[in-house]
Amino acid sequence: MVALVFGSCLIENWEWAAFQMIYALFYFVLAYNLEFNKFSLDRRLR
């Protein structure tokens, strides 16, 4: 994600850089709350 945002900023495509930063924030929130994942199929199959 860092490489994508950095590349978008280098070519000054600010709209895509903003979208990619939102995606990076979303992935961070998902990874941060991974320990609260009690209802997923992966947990059920383990």
Q: Is residue 18 part of a domain?
A: yes
Report the number of distinct structural domains present in the chain: 1
Q: Is residue 23 part of a domain?
A: yes
Q: DSSP labels for 1-46?
A: -HHHHHHHHHTT-HHHHHHHHHHHHHHHHHHHTGGG--S-HHHHH-
Question: In which domain, by residue range, is 14 found?
Answer: 2-37
Q: Is residue 25 part of a domain?
A: yes
What is the per-residue pLDDT for 23?
A: 93
Q: Is residue 45 part of a domain?
A: no
What is the per-residue pLDDT for 22?
A: 94
pLDDT tens, residue by residue, 16-43: 999 999 999 999 998 898 887 777 777 7
Length of the chain: 46
pTM (global) more than 0.75: no
Is the pLDDT higher at 11 or at 37?
11
What is the per-residue pLDDT for 19?
A: 92
- Nearest-angstrom CA–CA distance, 22 and 30: 12
